[in-house]
Amino acid sequence: MFTGLITGVGSIRSVTPMGDGQDARFTIQTPDNPVWKTAEKKLGASIACSGVCLTVIEAGADWFTVEVSAETLARTTLGTWREGSKINLEGSLRLGDELGGHLVSGHVDGLATVISLTPENGSTRWVFELPAALAPFVAPKGSIALNGVSLTVNEVEGHRFGVNIIPHTAVHTNFATLRAGSQVNVEIDMLARYLARQLSFKGG
């Protein structure tokens, strides 16, 4: 489990195709900050990489390696990662840690597309468009994770929703690299997911 509070921006050091070329191995350079300098990157540990929960298979002082299946590459932004790509990182939640965001599982539900970025007072209003299947799960003032970042939804209109990104978040995540047309990993609030599941049974 994660909180959606990013602890640093890493970068892709290398991408290595595996097997028949459908799967891939990524080696990730960790950030040069106090959190990741002292982070214990154990083999088998879970790390959220731009919102995708991945398992450490090798690690060094300032890097770790993960393996990713063809299914994950096809359904997330990981299929677009190249050497130098910037990614959001968060270590797994530990018992007793502060839950400053919301509970995030690292299981991506789909992709959203950046529609626009508009300066608004001291922040920036971002508008995203969701696939039709995910739109019903997003509500005003609800939580959503985009590239692993815990955010509050401001408004919803059809398949589109808006969030405000403050300068601190823009600087300390990979949102600074995104533009209109970019895609982001989406994880809907798990409470919304389970509520919809429950209502589907009642409706049946």
* Cα distance between the two ends of the chain: 31
Collapsed DSSP state (helix, strand, coil) of residue 200: helix
What DSSP line would sit under 132-189, residue for residue? Answer: TTTGGG--TT-EEEETTEEEE--EEETTEEEEEE-HHHHHTSGGGG--TT-EEEEEE-
Choosing from 62, 91, 120, the residue where a domain stops is 91
Domain contains 149: yes
Whether the CB-CB separation of 7 and 92 falls below 8 Å is answered with no
pLDDT: is 173 or 92 the higher one? 173
Domain contains 198: no
Phi, psi angles (nearest 5°) of residue 187: -125, 115
Domain contains 28: yes
The CATH number that applies at residue 121 is 2.40.30.20
- Structural domain range at position 150: 110-191
**What does the pLDDT look like over 70-90, one tens digit per residue?**
999 999 999 999 999 999 999
DSSP lists the bridge partners of residue 188 as 144
Choosing from 91, 122, 156, the residue where a domain stops is 91
Whether the CB-CB separation of 152 and 198 falls below 8 Å is answered with no
pLDDT at residue 55, as a whole number: 97
Q: How far apart are CA 115 and CA 161, in angstroms?
A: 10
Q: Is the pLDDT of residue 44 over 80?
A: yes
Q: What is the percent of the chain where pLDDT is above 90?
A: 77
- The answer to whether residues 185 and 128 belong to one domain is yes
Q: Is the pLDDT of residue 48 over 60?
A: yes
Distance set, CA 108 to CA 50, 74, 139 (Å): 10, 12, 18
Q: How far apart are CA 26 and CA 78, in angstroms?
A: 10
- The answer to whether residues 132 and 87 belong to one domain is no
Q: In the predicted model, what is the mean pLDDT of the chain? A: 91
pLDDT at residue 158, as a whole number: 96
